């Protein structure tokens, strides 16, 4: 009886971590290939507008608007001042953005702010929108690269999205380790999916959608992981998101470990909720021949890598030989994944040295599990992440 219990536990653990390491293996392989582009067709006219959802972002919004204007002074920028209690609207207008205020306590999610911004842009003649978070800096070529890919026929695109580390945080191993994990999630996996022809994914910042797509697949998402939720709907409908690897958006890292914990718990909890709601539809899409749903299904059911590693460590306590072989294979995949993620950064040596803090990071991730579970509830809300004020 005891042996049966141990074997059953081993099978459950293997099933539990399999989506993560299957997805990582796919993405590692995909990074060996170039990203797929839309099928050639007649170029279409794209009138792009930038939408910046902002909730109490008075200290950051001007920097973001000025970064966007430096990329293209002619592209209209709409800042949605959403239930703000500070001077966000005034600061955005002073920097040169068109301000669209949304003051409605019944509409509290980022999805509501984006819908409001989309409607304003389309009413003024835009037929595509680029979403940029209010705490971000963009590369000089971002708007041009986005518009070009949309003109080629893409209806949804995602640019390279990374964390920006201040000089102080760049020397802190935990901050650098988090930036490495962020790059793996939002850059390496996106590039890998694009290389294999899968939909690259949406990451909530630096993505663009056409008006015609939004007519077909409405952006009626309200969870705290609205990007993941909407992406699953696109995949269900057979609409791929294309990758822009040579243009980027950088967002500031959280100002404190508490703010970081809240942000990561919100992301993880939101993904848990999306996974529970999207699985049936993704399986149905897969059975209907929409093969991109396979990777998306593995993605939404993937544990965060840190939790997958913790699960692998637990396998060492079970005397099941095949499980140990499985764990070693997963460990090899993890090593390749981390190496690739580091090599995609500007300072791979420093990123790899930061791995010395990995045990502390794993303990920290385990400690925030109750917060993740609370954030997976349906009433969890969009909230501003506290960040350092930009340097003058």
Model confidence pLDDT, tens digit, residues 280-293: 999 999 999 888 89
* Weakest-pLDDT range from 207-216, 248-257, 349-358: 248-257
Residue among 376, 360, 370 at smallest CA distance from 268: 376
Higher-pLDDT residue of 328, 357: 328
Q: Report the C-alpha gap between 16 and 245 in whole angstroms.
A: 31
Residues 310-325, mean pLDDT to the nearest whole number: 91
Q: Name every residue whose Cβ is closer than 8 Å to that of residue 38 and which is 6 or more positions away in sequence.
A: 149, 152, 153, 154, 242
Residues 171-190, mean pLDDT to the nearest whole number: 91
* Weakest-pLDDT range from 99-108, 173-182, 192-201: 99-108
| pLDDT of 262 higher than 70 | no
Compute the mean pLDDT over every residue in the chain, rounded to the nearest whole number.
Answer: 88
Q: How confident is the model at residue 361 (pLDDT cuts 50, 70, 90)?
A: confident
Q: Report the C-alpha gap between 353 and 38 in whole angstroms.
A: 39
Q: How confident is the model at residue 173 (pLDDT cuts 50, 70, 90)?
A: confident
Residues 120-140, mean pLDDT to the nearest whole number: 97
Higher-pLDDT residue of 388, 269: 269
| pLDDT of 218 higher than 60 | yes
With 0-12 / 13-18 / 19 or more C-beta atoms within 10 angstroms meaning exposed / middle / buried, residue 207 is buried
Residues 53-73, mean pLDDT to the nearest whole number: 95
Contact 228, 300 (CB under 8 A): yes
* Weakest-pLDDT range from 141-155, 181-195, 354-368: 354-368
Q: Report the C-alpha gap between 161 and 250 in whole angstroms.
A: 6
Q: Name every residue whose Cβ is closer than 8 Å to that of residue 2 and which is 6 or more positions away in sequence.
A: none
Q: How confident is the model at residue 79 (pLDDT cuts 50, 70, 90)?
A: very high
Higher-pLDDT residue of 201, 40: 201
| pLDDT of 36 higher than 60 | yes
pTM value is 0.90
Q: Report the C-alpha gap between 365 and 310 in whole angstroms.
A: 10
pLDDT score for 392: 47
Residue among 123, 137, 11, 130 at smallest CA distance from 62: 137
What angle separates helix 173-183 from helix 321-343, to the nearest 10 degrees? 100
Q: Report the C-alpha gap between 169 and 187 in whole angstroms.
A: 20
Q: How confident is the model at residue 44 (pLDDT cuts 50, 70, 90)?
A: confident
The domain locations on the chain are: 7-35+44-375
Q: How confident is the model at residue 245 (pLDDT cuts 50, 70, 90)?
A: very high
For domain 7-35+44-375, the CATH class is alpha beta
| pLDDT of 301 higher than 80 | yes
Q: Name every residue whose Cβ is closer than 8 Å to that of residue 379 and which is 6 or more positions away in sequence.
A: none
pLDDT score for 105: 66
CB atoms within 10 A of CB 369: 13
């Amino acid at each position: 009886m005891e042996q049966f219990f141990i074997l059953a536990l081993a099978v459950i653990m293997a099933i539990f971590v399999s989506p993560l390491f299957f997805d990582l293996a796919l993405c590692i392989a995909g990074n060996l290939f170039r990203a797929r582009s839309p099928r050639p067709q007649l170029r279409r006219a794209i009138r792009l507008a930038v939408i910046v959802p902002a909730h109490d972002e008075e200290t950051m919004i001007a920097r973001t608007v000025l970064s966007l204007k430096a990329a293209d002074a002619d592209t209209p920028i709409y800042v949605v001042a959403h239930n703000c209690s500070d001077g966000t609207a005034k600061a955005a207008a002073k920097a040169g953005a068109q301000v669209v205020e949304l003051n409605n306590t019944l509409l509290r999610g980022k999805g509501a702010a984006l819908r409001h911004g989309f409607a304003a842009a389309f009413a003024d003649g835009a037929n595509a929108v680029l979403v940029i978070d209010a705490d971000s800096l963009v590369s000089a070529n971002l708007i041009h690269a986005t518009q070009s890919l949309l003109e080629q026929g893409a209806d949804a695109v995602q640019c390279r999205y990374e964390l920006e580390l201040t000089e102080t945080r760049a020397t802190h191993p935990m901050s650098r380790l988090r930036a490495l994990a962020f790059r793996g999630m939002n850059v390496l996996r996106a590039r890998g999916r694009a290389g294999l022809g899968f939909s690259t994914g949406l990451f909530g910042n630096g993505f663009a959608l056409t008006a015609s797509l939004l007519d077909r697949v409405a952006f009626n998402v309200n969870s705290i992981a609205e990007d993941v939720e909407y992406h699953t709907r696109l995949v269900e409908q057979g609409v791929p998101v294309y990758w822009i690897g040579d243009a980027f958006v950088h967002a500031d890292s959280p100002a404190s470990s508490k703010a970081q914990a809240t942000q990561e718990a919100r992301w993880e909890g939101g993904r848990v909720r999306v996974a529970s709601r999207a699985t049936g539809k993704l399986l149905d899409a897969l059975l209907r021949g929409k093969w991109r749903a396979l990777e998306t299904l593995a993605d939404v059911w993937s544990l965060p890598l840190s939790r997958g590693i913790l699960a692998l460590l637990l396998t060492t306590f079970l005397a099941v030989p095949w499980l140990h072989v499985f764990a070693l294979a997963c460990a090899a995949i993890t090593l390749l994944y981390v190496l690739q993620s580091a090599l995609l950064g500007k300072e791979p040596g420093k990123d790899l040295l930061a791995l010395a803090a990995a045990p502390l990071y794993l303990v920290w991730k385990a400690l925030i599990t109750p917060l993740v579970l609370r954030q997976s509830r349906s009433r969890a809300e969009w909230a501003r992440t506290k960040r350092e004020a930009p340097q003058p």
